[in-house]
Amino acid sequence: MLIAHVSDLHIGGSEDSVERAMRVREYLNGLPGPVDAVMVTGDIADHGLADEYTIAREVMRYDAPTIVCPGNHDSRTAFRTVLLGQSGHGPINQVLRLEGLTIALCDSSIPGRVHADEHGWLESELDRAEGPMLQDLLQPVGVGQPYGVDRGQAEAYGRVGSSPP
């Protein structure tokens, strides 16, 4: 199984951000064998503007199932509206189920934080997973990280992350 992980597109952050992201897309779409999924973790936009997400939506047209989550440069409202066609303001957690693998991405738009309800979400997704589950987020979560993650959050995330399939 081939899973591609793309991160930190920062569309709008520099003149070459779109070109760079399109080169990555063309590379992945041009691989001789199929890519089973593409995970795009955070900082899709650089300023969280709707126009940046409109561009990103085009740039992220991969030939494989794609799952995407926001990071600290992203605006949940614009991200959700433009990329997902949804409304709302809460955390944006995504799950992609493939044959033999579940991919779960957690919103980390607040650096170093995984919200308490996300722990429950991850645990329920783990319970529903048929086989292994890959979980990821943009920002680091762990004790001693520069964003001041508290020990309780790090331990709760670790419990979910170390549960057997």
Q: What is the CATH code for 3-161?
A: 3.60.21.10
Terminal CA-to-CA distance of the chain, rounded, Å?
17
> Bigger pLDDT: 113 or 147?
113
Residue entry with tokens 């549960």: 163
Taking the domains of the chain in order of start, what are their residue ranges? 3-161
Q: pLDDT by residue (tens digit) across 93-144? A: 899 999 999 998 888 676 555 666 677 788 888 888 888 888 776 555 444 4
pLDDT at residue 143 in the model: 40
User: What residues does 11 pair with on adjacent strands?
Assistant: 45
- Distance between CA atoms of 34 and 28, rounded to whole angstroms? 9
pTM: 0.81
pLDDT at residue 119 in the model: 72
